[in-house]
Chain A
Amino acid sequence: MEAAAETGNMASVQHIILVLSGKGGVGKSTISTQLALALRHAGKKVGILDVDLCGPSIPRMLRAQGRAVHQCDSGWVPVYVDQEQSISLMSVGFLLENPDEAVVWRGPKKNALIRQFVCDVAWGQLDYLVVDTPPGTSDEHMATVDALRPYGPLGALVVTTPQAVSVGDVRRELTFCRKAGLQVLGVVENMSGFVCPHCAECTHVFSRGGGEELACHAGVPFLGSVPLDPELTRSLEEGRDFIREFPESPAFPALLSIAQKVLTEAPARLL
């Protein structure tokens, strides 16, 4: 590790995980949120950094919208989601006066804010920092990877939906990871199938199998398929804790196995 990593706000952050996808709306923020909740249930302290500057979703998904970020001596104090302060959160959403305001910024300004987010947030002791990103392979991604490089991120979770149109974009994201020297922890397939609540017929709304095929093709681990579950969507809309409230949901085992993978990967890296 470089000398810079020994000091500053990131010094006591153990593991950094990026959640990426070339495609928008595939569930990066959903997976980030659920991963953070699952890690919390495993007794970890988790931070979420939302670097999606034009479309921050995390505050709403954790029912933290409208909260404000405060300043302290060592920088910005993140927003704590719960009383135990086991999940802390930083997002551009907290810096907007009006939630409907558009952040109409070009690259350089976005890069500057991301650097500030990485350097100037007083996370304190964290076991995991989950970094939720916008879709694509552009400014935000390069800025984030560059800023985090001194702290040795654990790797990236790559999210896709099953259809070929999405998998096509995600293939490009895997190329980005390779070029950026970011280890791919695995591919997650989201919105895999929908079980009709009336007749229990499972429909593959967005086709099937694309995520697994992609992981196979690219030689990276496949972490599981998360089915479409209206309860999951609803729970995110209302900012509730899905993992605690719906252990019987078909989406539950997939989310848990992703968290498990992250938990087992982390100690391996410490050796």
Chain B
Amino acid sequence: MEEVPQGCPGTGSAQAGQGASCQGCPNQRLCASGAGAAPDPAIEEIKEKLKTVKHKILVLSGKGGVGKSTFSAHLAYGLAEDENTQVALLDIDICGPSIPKMMGLEGEQVHQSGSGWSPVFLEDNLGVMSVGFLLGSPDDAVIWRGPKKNGMIKQFLRDVDWGQVDYLIVDTPPGTSDEHLSAVQYLAAARIDGAAIITTPQEVSLQDVRKEISFCRKVKLPIIGVVENMSVFICPKCKKESQIFPPTTGGAERMCQDLKIPLLGKVPLDPHIGKSCDKGQSFLIDAPDSPAAVAYRGIIQKIQEFCGHHKPKQEPLPSS
């Protein structure tokens, strides 16, 4: 499979920029110069910049629309409920940024300061950065190919002045492509604590999520665990459960057993979650006693525990 198309020899290889398929590639000259093989100096710069960030968490899923941004937003809300915890939320979904809307920050602008871009602060202890803040109108499409997206992510990591932060949460687009590789590579020296992987119960989603897990293993990214979102639906009228997205192959639970990774929790499908997100409010505050909010809190606690036990600076990366 790796040979189809008989294409890119890889930016780091000896053939970089010289293969037949490199003809016409926009990066041909760059690859041929050997610059691709040398580590990007930005990696060290990012490490320096993020020295003030204690924990870095990636929120991933192979599948779109399973609730990555919803989860990222609520992880940020939940962690920031403690006034003494500084939280940063970075949205690297360049083509479909949802975080500004979900956090009620649509139309906000990023400001420049001497030490870089200032994130948009929702609370004193909750800063947010997204490509959405850089767009003029909600109709503006970011029609960018990979290299341009990578440049943006690099800027987000290197040039945003986060200040002292306990948790940096990185919300990603679906898939296993440019954005993911870039985030992992740029953060390689700064060390990522781990990835939280989001899925829905049905196999069509799980099959993409297994690919995401194999991606994490390929790039040696520790997996904190899996969150099953949209698990069951509780009818607001009769309070009975239904499975809108049926777990025909055992859902996330079975997948986690098979792949030996922790299941962090299951969040039921609650229409209020979507409503809160549309209004840009925290569901954890809108419906604090709902089963979904309780599930969220349990998961957030497990992630905090993981980060507490896990000291990325001293420990070697766990082997996959």
Contacts and interface: CB of A to CB of B under 8 A. Distances in A.
Contact of A136 (B96, B139, B212): B96
A215 interface: no
Q: At the interface, is chain B mostly helix, strand, loop or mixed?
A: loop
Which of the four size classes fits the interface of chain A?
35 or more
Interface string B23-43: 001110000000000000000
B140 A175 contact: yes
B65 interface: yes
A19 B142 CA distance: 19
Given A24-B63, A112-B21, A196-B240, A171 B145 contact: no
A100 B210 contact: yes
B203 A172 contact: no
A102 B181 CA distance: 12
A196 B242 contact: yes
Interface string A109-142: 1101100100000000000000000111111011
A64 to B, nearest CB: 13
Contact of A198 (B96, B200, B242): B242
A185 interface: no
Interface string B232-254: 01011110101111101100000
Contacts, number: 236
A101 B98 CA distance: 28
A106 B65 contact: no
B177 A201 contact: no
A138 B244 contact: no
A112 B8 contact: yes
Contacts of B277: 163-165
B7 A198 contact: no
A194 B244 CA distance: 8
Contacts of B102: 165
30 contacts: A23-B64, A23-B65, A24-B173, A55-B63, A55-B175, A97-B1, A100-B207, A100-B210, A104-B181, A106-B8, A106-B181, A108-B26, A109-B8, A134-B175, A138-B178, A139-B145, A164-B277, A165-B277, A168-B98, A169-B98, A171-B138, A172-B95, A172-B141, A199-B235, A199-B240, A201-B238, A207-B271, A230-B245, A237-B202, A237-B203
- The 5 residue pairs across chains A and B that have the minimum distance between CB atoms: A24-B64, A25-B65, A107-B146, A54-B175, A136-B95
Interface of B: 1, 4-5, 7-8, 21, 25-27, 62-66, 69, 94-96, 98, 101-102, 138-147, 149, 173-178, 180-181, 200, 202-205, 207-208, 210-215, 218-219, 233, 235-238, 240, 242-246, 248-249, 269, 271, 274-275, 277-278
